[in-house]
Amino acid sequence: MSMMTGKQYRESLSKLKPEIYYMGERIESVITHPAFTPHVNAAALTYDMALAPEFEELLSTKSHLTGEKINRFTHIHQNHDDLVKKVKMLRALGQQTGSCFQRCVGFDALNATYSVTYDMDKKLGTKYHEQFSSLLKEIQSTDIMISGAMTDPKGDRRLSPSQQKDPDLYVHIVEKRDDGIVVSGAKAHITGAVNSHGHLVMPTSAMKKEDADYAVCFYVPVDATGVLHIFGRQTNDTRKCDCFLDQGNAEYGIVGGEALIVFDKAFIPWKHVFMCGEFDFAYELVERFATFHRQNYGGCKAGLSDALIGATYALAQVQGTDRASHVRDKIVEMVHLTETLYCCSIACSCQGYAMPAGCYMADPLLANVTKLNVTRHIYEIARLAQDITGGILATAPAESDWKDPKIGKYVDKYMKGIAEIPAETRIRLIRLLEAMTCGTALAESMHGAGSPQAQKIMIERRANLERKKRLAEKLAKIGDQPKLVC
């Protein structure tokens, strides 16, 4: 088997026994628990769309290792076309789910680790790339979903990993054995963690020699001994358990089902270890992963914005405001900002380049510009959507009130806009807009793939300000005394 269907993906999850906790309870099945099923549904769509004729070209490709047809989420970029198709794929998925479909983090982790392990082997004579390529073949042939686990809790931000009072605030090597390593620590708010098959764990920052035990990269199955997951709260998450309409996007949820992954002396066999103390390469892995992940945001967020714009436009029609010039102008601005984000992702893909490993890398400067724009434009798109929706976005009666035999008639009566359109239509659109523009969804746009300051640091490093200064000095004739001709 090389490509799963959504049904097969669900069946594969049912065979796993990960340790998961949510709201103080041990969760037995992510397939059946209402808090998790929307996230499973969104990920399952990445499997079904890869087999659908209209999306097959975007979501599937050929493995450069085996020549077999594979899901693009397990692929290593081989050219500019791969980088561009990735962005188009993410936009298409965002349009279809209106939520996070979770697989792109692991996708980016695969591509970053592939190139860095190659460089490590060339310089150090290690066998990491060979080991990683073996794992990659397995991932491609089984089409499993992996999370990309980079962010550590970090503790006291003033201190490096090795300076923390509690060494577990960064994932680190506890013991090296003949058959592998033992690790402890945690990775925070990891997308898709509970409904993945395994985790690709990476260092979270540049490391110094004294931090060598924290320079570790490895793969671990989701249900391995010593690995547990604590599922995070989300905006309005209890609505998943007691209502349908009030969820807004009941089928696919709000964002990516993030969780805290705890490693309590977890054992990792050497075949699944891809960095073990090589601190000089920690920063390269972080930067390459960050570049790939920031490349994504003009794709997936453009797709989500397409759905959000559609909901806003539809609601304006329901409320009778769609012909107002200021409403039309705001919707046009939402479109403008969305396409600006998409342009950034396409640009950093087209400006990508080949790495020594033979794979392709997106342009780091433009990728960081893409993500920095997302931290601003998505908020403005959401603000405009809320502006057009009106205050009812925050005060709409509950689904249970609308269905109540006594007061439901009043909710139905007063929630109507245009008389010919049912109140239910307006309520559904309001709830979708609420889900997409409030709380968790916006926080992910700000902090996913790194907070704004991280992008600014990378932009400054890549801006080549000295070259820009020389251009100005040349134009201003600084250091040059030309002869004046009268």
Q: Quick check: is 57 catalytic?
A: no
Catalytic residue among 129, 172, 189, 293: 293
- Burial class (CB within 10 angstroms; exposed 0-12, middle 13-18, buried 19+) of 480: exposed
The whole-angstrom separation of Cα 339 and Cα 246 is 30
Assess whether 117 carries a catalytic annotation.
no
Q: Quick one: tokens of 185?
A: 């620590």
Q: Which two tokens stand for residue 309?
A: 């714009």
Which residue in 61, 191, 204, 312 is the catalytic one? 191
Among candidate residues 22, 33, 77, 104, the one labeled active-site is 104
| Catalytic choice (37, 61, 100, 375) | 100
CA quadruple 152, 154, 159, 162: dihedral sign:
negative
* 210: annotated active-site residue: no
Active site residue 342: no
Name 412's Cβ contacts closer than 8 Å, sequence gap at least 6. Answer: 402, 423, 424
Which two structure tokens, joined as six digits, stand for 148? 């990309």
Q: Which of 128, 252, 297, 360 is catalytic?
A: 297
**From 258, 287, 399, 434, the catalytic residue:** 258
From 46, 199, 291, 300, active-site residue: 300
Whether the CB-CB separation of 271 and 117 falls below 8 Å is answered with no
Sign of the alpha-carbon dihedral angle for 37, 40, 42, 48: negative
Considering only the C-alpha atoms of the chain, give the largest distance between any 2 of them, rounded to a whole number of Å. Answer: 93
Contact 115, 288 (CB under 8 A): yes
Contacts of residues 393-401 at CB distance under 8 Å and 24 or more positions apart, as own/partner, are 393/430, 393/433, 393/434, 393/437, 393/438, 394/434, 396/427, 396/430, 396/431, 396/434, 398/243, 398/246, 399/243, 399/244, 399/245, 399/246, 399/427, 400/243
Out of 287, 399, 434, 444, the active site residue is 444
Active site residue 284: no
- Are the C-beta atoms of residues 240 and 34 closer than 8 Å to each other? yes
Spatial CA neighbour of 81 closest among 336, 350, 338: 350
- The yes-or-no answer on residue 258 being catalytic is yes
Determine the Cα–Cα distance for residues 308 and 314; give it in Å rounded to an integer. Answer: 10
Residues serving a catalytic function are 100, 104, 191, 258, 293, 297, 300, 444
